[in-house]
Amino acid sequence: MARQSRLPQRTPSVRFAVVEIGRLLGHERIRPALLEQLMDQIRKDGYLRRPVLVADGELVILDGHHRVEAVRALGARRIPAYLIDYFSDIVHLATWPDAVVSVVTKEDVIRRGRTGDLFPPKTSRHTMTVLLEDRPTDLDDLR
């Protein structure tokens, strides 16, 4: 009887890091009114409540474009992020109900991030099968 060869299964990884904003690549445009609202809230609170979600390796922002731009405008050089194995099964991709683009793939997201050919605001909707906790971070610690 021949032995069945088994490939080792890869465990999807999620890791927390504070990353340089200048290294991150967006794949969607932002809404100026939403950006202003978020900047006001962060300025008032003095901290960023939730890390952004980023494709590990590619450094494409998956969730948090407005947070990145808000803290950048407030003088931050770094931002807390969850770096995720994007092509794993723990990341699900859909579009928002009112999105202009109705079908988006993970490959599209990465390509748009790399090329700067941005989707309209609030096109992609990423959800996770694992819980990512809020990690409030003082704005002064990000400068």
Instruction: Give the global pTM.
Output: 0.90
Q: Is residue 138 part of a domain?
A: no
- Count of domains forming the chain: 1
Tell me if 2 is assigned to some domain: no
The confidence score (pLDDT) of residue 51 equals: 98
Structural domain range at position 75: 14-129
Distance CA 22, CA 4 (A): 47
Calpha distance 109→124 (Å, rounded): 8
Domain annotation covers residue 125: yes
- Residue in 28, 58, 69, 107 annotated catalytic: 28
| Inside any domain, residue 140 | no
Does some domain include residue 139?
A: no
Q: Is 28 a catalytic residue?
A: yes
Its sign, for the CA torsion 65, 90, 107, 125, is negative
**Domain membership flag for residue 38:** yes
Query: CATH number for the domain including 109?
Result: 3.90.1530.10
Within a domain: 98 = yes
Residue 45's CB is within 10 A of a number of other CB atoms, namely: 12
The confidence score (pLDDT) of residue 21 equals 98
* 137 lies in some domain: no
Residue 121 has pLDDT above 70, yes or no: yes
Question: Which pLDDT does position 1 carry in this prediction?
Answer: 45
Percentage with pLDDT > 70 across the chain: 92
State pLDDT tens for residues 23-79.
999 999 999 999 999 999 999 999 999 999 999 999 999 999 999 999 999 999 999
